[in-house]
Amino acid sequence: MIVVTGAAGFIGANLVLGLNARGITDIIAVDDLSDGTKFRNLAEAEIADYLDKDEFLARVAGGALPKVDAIFHQGACSATTEWNGKFMMDVNYRYSQTLLEYCQNQHAPFIYASSASVYGMGKAGFRESRECERPLNVYAYSKFLFDQTVRRAGLDQAKSRGSGQVVGLRYFNVYGPREQHKGGMASTAFHFNNQIEQDGECKLFAGSDGYGDGEQRRDFIHVDDVVAMNLWFYDHAEKSGIYNCGTGRAQPFNDIAKAVIAWHGKGTAKYVPFPANLVGRYQSFTEADHAKLRAIGYDRAFLSVEDGVKRYLDWLHQA
């Protein structure tokens, strides 16, 4: 039995389907379906059971959960604009601690979603090391603090199968199928597609932080690559640690716009003033450092923005 938290969300739903593609259907899907529209993300999936996130946590705490083979912990409040620190720490930090303790007691692999937001402005680089970590908001802090919990317990070191694998994946800018419920927090590719369909213009930020119009750069990673990395670690239970989950290649927002415009065969880019409230709080450059990941043997190639956006828009517009 495998547990996927956040299973009706963006990455969680794609991970469930990735497990299904391997013939794995003994899956407990955990989420909060207060937004009932998210059920669509699981409509194609095969699962054994669904549990609300609060009921699941109660079962874990009460020892009423069947023995599980692994937990993929994708559930979280991912809104970087959320400033209710108590809520964020309860949902992102304490919840994760409880599941980590459970997995260690059960000697079950625990693969969880961290975030590249822990690097802040990235002025010290994007290596998985303490000196590079400078979170700018409470969401990033909640992810950083849990990573620190893993480190303090020495759980980021290599493990053998059955002895409690722990892997934290620092997601960079993920895009792809099944993110529509995220609204304003959905990817740039999703929003650019909608903008081209509605008024024929991709709206990008004008120049900032020394970058030209639309030239701010992020490490954009397709969700298929994220799923592949999760499953690779599941296959390699002797590997533990905290790793970057990005392509290792920063590309400008202009490249996303060009890919969307090329797919539609129409449209233009429009540059809007950089928002004053984002000055000093915006990652104008991110790029995953792959040295640690490649050193443990992960050699899979990543989709470029051009190929990834095409794959995504093909999916969005399928009949």
CATH number of the domain bearing residue 204: 3.90.25.10
Tell me the β-bridge partners of 5.
Answer: 30, 73
- The rounded mean pLDDT for the chain is 94
Active site residue 159: no
Contacts 24+ apart (CB under 8 A), 35-39: 35/181, 37/181, 38/8, 38/9, 38/181, 39/8
Return the pLDDT at 264: 98
Directed axis angle between helix 95-106 and helix 53-61, to 10°? 50
66 and 30 within one domain: yes
- Residues 89, 167 share a domain: yes
In a domain, 294, yes or no: no
pLDDT at 83 exceeding the cut of 90: no
Statement: residue 94 has pLDDT above 90: yes
pLDDT 10s digits, 3-28: 999 999 999 999 999 999 999 999 99
- Domain check: are 186 and 131 in the same one? no
| Residue 166 sits in the same domain as residue 193 | no
Residues 271 and 123 in one domain: no
Cα separation, 215 vs 165, in Å, equals 39
Active site residue 139: yes
Task: Compute the distance between CA of residue 249 and CA of residue 302 in angstroms, rounded to an integer.
Answer: 9
Note whether 99 and 60 are within 8 A (CB): yes
* pLDDT score for 206: 96
Domain holding 265, by residue range, is 174-219+248-288+303-313
Q: Give the pLDDT score at 158.
A: 65
Same domain (yes/no): 113, 231: yes
Residues of the chain with pLDDT > 70: what percent?
Answer: 97
Residue 160 has pLDDT above 90, yes or no: no
Distance in angstroms (rounded) separating the CA atoms of residues 110 and 124: 29
Shared domain for 110 and 29, answered yes or no, is: yes
**214 and 151, same structural domain?**
no
Residues 96 and 194 in one domain: no
Catalytic residue among 50, 53, 93, 182: 182
pLDDT tens track for 185-221: 899 999 999 999 999 999 999 999 899 999 999 999 9
Token couple for 295: 């050193």
Best CA proximity match to 111, nearest among 222, 10, 3, 217: 3
**Range 228-234 average pLDDT:** 98
Q: Is residue 298 part of a domain?
A: no
pLDDT tens sequence across 36-63: 999 999 999 999 999 999 999 999 999 8
Place of tokens 């120049």: 207
Mean pLDDT along residues 132-139: 93
The closest alpha carbon to 31, from 86, 89, 88, 72, belongs to 72
Q: How many separate domains does the chain show?
A: 2
Per-residue pLDDT band at 277 (split at 50, 70, 90): confident
Query: What's residue 219's pLDDT?
Result: 98
Catalytic residue among 139, 175, 234, 243: 139
Residue 293's nearest CA partner among 217, 221, 229 is: 229
Instruction: Identify the pLDDT of residue 295.
Output: 97
| CATH number, position 79 | 3.40.50.720
Residue 89 has pLDDT above 60, yes or no: yes
Same domain, yes or no: 101 and 232? yes
> Are 205 and 232 members of one domain?
no
Q: Are residues 195 and 236 in the same domain?
A: no
